[in-house]
Amino acid sequence: MNNFKLLKYAVLSCILLNFASCKSIDIKEKVENKTVPENFGVISSDTLSVAKINWKDYFTDEHLQNLIEMALQNNQEMNILMQEIDITKNEIRIKKSEYLPSVGIKAGTGFEKAARFTNIGAMEATTNIAPGKEMPEPLGDLGIGLVANWEIDIWGKLHHAKNAAIKRYLATVEGKKFMQTQLVAEIAQSYYELLALDNELEIVQQNIEIQNNALNVVKLLKEAARTNELAVKRFQAQVLKTTGLQYQIKQRIVETENKINFLVGRFPQTIQRTTTGFEKLIPTKISTGIPAELLTNRPDIKKAELLLEAAKLDIKYAKARFYPSVGISAGIGYGAFNPSYLLKPESLMYSLAGDLMAPLLNRNAIKAEYKNANAKQIQAVYNYEQTVLMAYVEVVNQLSKIKNLENSINLKQQEVDALNQSITISNNLFKSARADYMEVLLTQREALDAKFELIETKMQQMQSSISVYKALGGGWN
């Protein structure tokens, strides 16, 4: 009886010691700031963000739609990310499996010869398997059975690990959506850049024709002794300069086409595109909604939020490691020294055991992991807040850019119209010897530059409408 009491007190002391050693350190988690301004710098009555519009409805150009469709299927970076999603999904399966007992089948064989002058050897020498039948020597050992081990998740450690894996899986899904918004926007911007380059090339070719006509006029005037060789050479140089410019534009067209081909996931080929009406393109009207919608519309913000939630669960997992783990192990099967006895009822063997284990000597390592988890949670908070801030700034910048570009285009169009009239006037004045040839050349050069600037500004306007669509969270739905 005294021995039983002693054993009971010993077990109780061990349990109390374990729990005493399980006390964790408390670290206060940082709370993220989710507040955003009420509007994007101006009072807006928009109730629906343009980000809600499907990209097929936002981009109505059929050729552009086809390019985006192909890119979403064939883009290599997108396909790489899809494999990352599968990896994180498998991580969930791994964490879920830790909830269940690990069950396996175990079979083995062997033999052993114990020394005669040992306790086992002495017992074997004086033991008979059956009346008149001595213990075989060496002694065989055959066994087959099931074994199982199970950690009982009392403190939620495995539960937190599984939920953290789920959050990271969902974050990769949001990452895929964000990549899609990036991909859709990049293809659309490159497509409109290509249309702009086509228009620039057309303008250059038109100017080459105009300048060649002017050169022919100057040659005739020289023959009539109404001008000199210097004027002829200056007009000829201007024609050569403009002719050389078209090859620079052609090279840019090839590079832009191949950029789109790369995004689409195919080898270089001609990009099918709309060839007329670029100057008359009108960007889609932008409705911004309220800034708070960014938190749900932007996949990168949702990804940062999910990673933050996973980091919080990692802290709970690390904290649960301070507490004792409870495990159960069990086994059942048959064992014998001879195959003929293996399946007899007397050969049945089984075991069932439970254990309680708490960290004692390795608490410093667990503390370090706990502090690391907390530091990563703080990092995740800053990353989330930075992502929200960056999204808001992007929208404000693009809205301002769209407004300023619209005003710039109106003024630039008036400049182009005025310079086009100046070309005709200067040519007529030069023919009648009332203007110097330098005035004609300067007018032609200014008109060409103004037309280029108008096309570039129009391209920036179209690209800004794409950028604000992406900044508001559009392109993934």
pLDDT digits (tens, 9 = 90+) for 225-270: 877 888 889 889 989 999 999 999 999 999 999 999 999 999 999 9
- Nearest Cα neighbor of 453 from 416, 400, 402 is 416
pTM over 0.85: no
- How many angstroms separate the CA atoms of 195 and 183, rounded? 18
- Is the pLDDT at 314 greater than 90? The verdict is yes
CB 380 within 8 A of CB 308: yes
Q: Using pLDDT thresholds of 50, 70 and 90, give the confidence band for residue 22.
A: very low
pLDDT at res. 323 = 85
Q: Using pLDDT thresholds of 50, 70 and 90, give the confidence band for residue 127.
A: confident
- How many angstroms separate the CA atoms of 145 and 333, rounded? 4
Does the CA dihedral 414-422-453-203 come out positive or negative? positive
pLDDT at res. 96 = 85
Phi then psi dihedrals of residue 276, to 5 deg: -130, 160
- How large is the average pLDDT for residues 146-168? 89
Q: Using pLDDT thresholds of 50, 70 and 90, give the confidence band for residue 336.
A: confident
Q: Number of H helices and number of E strands within the chain?
A: 11, 6
Tokens found for residue 259: 């950029």
Phi then psi dihedrals of residue 118, to 5 deg: -130, 170
Does the CA dihedral 269-275-278-283 come out positive or negative? negative
Tokens found for residue 121: 């050897």
- Nearest Cα neighbor of 35 from 289, 388, 310 is 388
pLDDT at res. 6 = 45
C-alpha distance across the termini of the chain, in Å: 75
pLDDT at res. 42 = 63
- Is the pLDDT at 26 greater than 70? The verdict is no
pLDDT digits (tens, 9 = 90+) for 183-202: 999 999 999 999 999 999 99
pLDDT at res. 156 = 86
Helix (H, G, I), strand (E, B) or coil at 192: helix
Q: For all residues of the chain together, what is the average pLDDT? A: 87
pLDDT at res. 46 = 62
**DSSP code at position 75:** -
- Is the pLDDT at 4 greater than 60? The verdict is no
Crossing angle between the packed helical segments 62-74 and 157-223, to the nearest 10 degrees: 140
Q: Using pLDDT thresholds of 50, 70 and 90, give the confidence band for residue 175.
A: very high
Q: Whose structure tokens read 């997108």?
A: 78
pLDDT at res. 429 = 86
The C-alpha R_g of the chain, in whole angstroms, comes to: 40
- Is the pLDDT at 132 greater than 80? The verdict is no
Domains, the chain, with CATH or none: 27-87+179-323+360-471 (1.20.1600.10)
pLDDT digits (tens, 9 = 90+) for 81-124: 999 999 999 999 988 888 788 888 988 888 777 777 787 777 77
**Number of residues that make up the chain:** 477
Angle at 12 between CA 7 and CA 14, to 5 degrees: 95
CB 461 within 8 A of CB 405: yes
pLDDT at res. 470 = 95
- How many angstroms separate the CA atoms of 303 and 425, rounded? 61
- How large is the average pLDDT for residues 405-421? 91
